[in-house]
Amino acid sequence: MTEIFKNIPEIKFEGKNSENPLAFKYYDADRVIMGKKMSEHLPFAMAWWHNLCAGGTDMFGRDTADKSFGAEKGTMEHAKAKVDAGFEFMKKLGIKYFCFHDVDLVPEADDIKETNRRLDEISDYILEKMQGTDIKCLWGTANMFGNPRFMNGAGSTNSVDVYAFAAAQVKKALDLTVKLGGRGYVFWGGREGYETLLNTDVKFEQENIARLMHMAVDYGRSIGFKGDFYIEPKPKEPMKHQYDFDAATAIGFLKQYGLDKDFKLNIEANHATLAGHTFQHDLRISAINGMLGSIDANQGDTLLGWDTDEFPFNVYEATLCMYEVLKNGGLTGGFNFDSKNRRPSYTMEDMFYAYILGMDTFALGLIKAAEMIEDGRIDKFVEEKYASWNSELGQKIRNKETTLEELFHYAEKLGAPELPGSGRQELLEGVMNNILFK
């Protein structure tokens, strides 16, 4: 096998004083943090699409990066070259998982039968590559937003034929996910939404999406898929309004349609901020509902109103993310870098620098989040903040043993409550800084 990333060695941990750009400064796979190896806390995944397919094309210009990997684009040789490149890339970085859309793997043919034949061929090739390695699939998905047929949505489309095509893609993508041993299956509803309510029957569309998801669960379980299904919330882009707006909306939808036992959420940092939330907010909302499943680990630019999918470097955000993940007892999924190099970072070295940055940022976030928990000052404050609820009255309310009238009489007797106590935000932010920079 010819080496593709010729000047890139295996990336090793060298520690924070290293100035070697091709070394980890914080990600030390075997280092134990709170009883678990870093590599177990952080099951990192490579996103097939950004890393192996995307060359930097944007609305104003064509590719800057050459992702041909020595083969002619649009051929099965190219599809295989991407597999070769992907496995070499993951091995050199010590990444154990990948995520894919069906159409990332092979060029889509005019007829679905031919596309599926190509998918069988490439998945056999991927399986071969997986042998003798500990690389696995984190999750698979079907791209139901790129082809023009999905202009009005997939599960939410007005066309029953397009709906059937979407269902066929989901079936095949589930087959592939199971074949490659995937931990999860993602629904990102990129075109499941609307531009104007003047032409949209929202209730009808949402019921049809739910039906598609139910069929996916039934089929998945019938072929032995034991993992989680995920919804990946995103509020907008490409549609003006997407039904899976944020974690809370997606959870409401899953509960409304009886899908909450089989589905969890795949939270993407940049999508949370597009919804006007912090990343931490959507993680917390998912976690308290028992639905924090997996993470797309990128970062947006809040000065821009669109999905920039940048590699994460913000250690504050990564720390608060890992704080939520540790409190959640980890993830059943992992951390997929749904991130892309900036357009001018077009060389092969840049692909490695980007993943090193992302992996180091989350490793540092993990170290610092564990320190925050072990330090205990923040937890202690939160416990004390709610201490009044330990009173007899507090317990009665929590145990659903009070009435409005009883509380009315209690309030009358009291006359006026004392102020509830300082929120100490600045103090706590100082504690976090103190831990981050000590």
Catalog residues that contact ligand XLS under the rule CB under 6 A: 101, 141, 186, 188, 232, 234, 268, 296, 307, 338
Q: Which is nearer to Ca ion, 26 or 263 (CB)?
A: 263
Shortest distance in whole angstroms from residue 37 CB to ligand XLS: 26
What is the rounded CA–CA span in Å between residue 381 and residue 137? 41
Binding site for Ca ion (CB under 5 A): 268, 270, 296, 307, 309, 338
What is the rounded CA–CA span in Å between residue 341 and residue 354? 7
Shortest distance in whole angstroms from residue 142 CB to ligand XLS: 8
Shortest distance in whole angstroms from residue 188 CB to ligand XLS: 4
Shortest distance in whole angstroms from residue 298 CB to Ca ion: 6
Between vectors from CA 236 to CA 230 and to CA 190, what angle results, nearest 5°? 45
Q: Which is nearer to ligand XLS, 101 or 281 (CB)?
A: 101
Query: Sign of torsion, CA 131 45 8 19?
Result: negative
CB 118 within 8 A of CB 76: yes
CB 235 within 8 A of CB 195: no
Shortest distance in whole angstroms from residue 400 CB to ligand XLS: 40
Tell me which of 102, 104, 282, 309 is the catalytic residue: 104
Unique residue bearing structure tokens 């990600």: 27
Q: Which is nearer to Ca ion, 135 or 186 (CB)?
A: 186
Our answer to whether residue 101 is catalytic in this structure is yes
Tell me which of 41, 50, 78, 101 is the catalytic residue: 101
Partner from ligand XLS, Ca ion, none binding residue 141, C-beta < 5-8 Å depending on class: ligand XLS
Rounded to 10 degrees, the C-alpha dihedral 111/116/118/119 comes to 150
Q: Which is nearer to ligand XLS, 234 or 368 (CB)?
A: 234
Partner from Ca ion, ligand XLS, none binding residue 156, C-beta < 5-8 Å depending on class: none
Question: What pairing do the DSSP bridges indicate for beta strands 12-13 and 23-24?
Answer: parallel
Phi, psi of 134 (to 5 degrees): -105, 30
CB 352 within 8 A of CB 8: yes
Our answer to whether residue 244 is catalytic in this structure is no
CB 315 within 8 A of CB 288: no
Q: Which is nearer to ligand XLS, 118 or 234 (CB)?
A: 234
The residues carrying an active-site annotation are: 101, 104
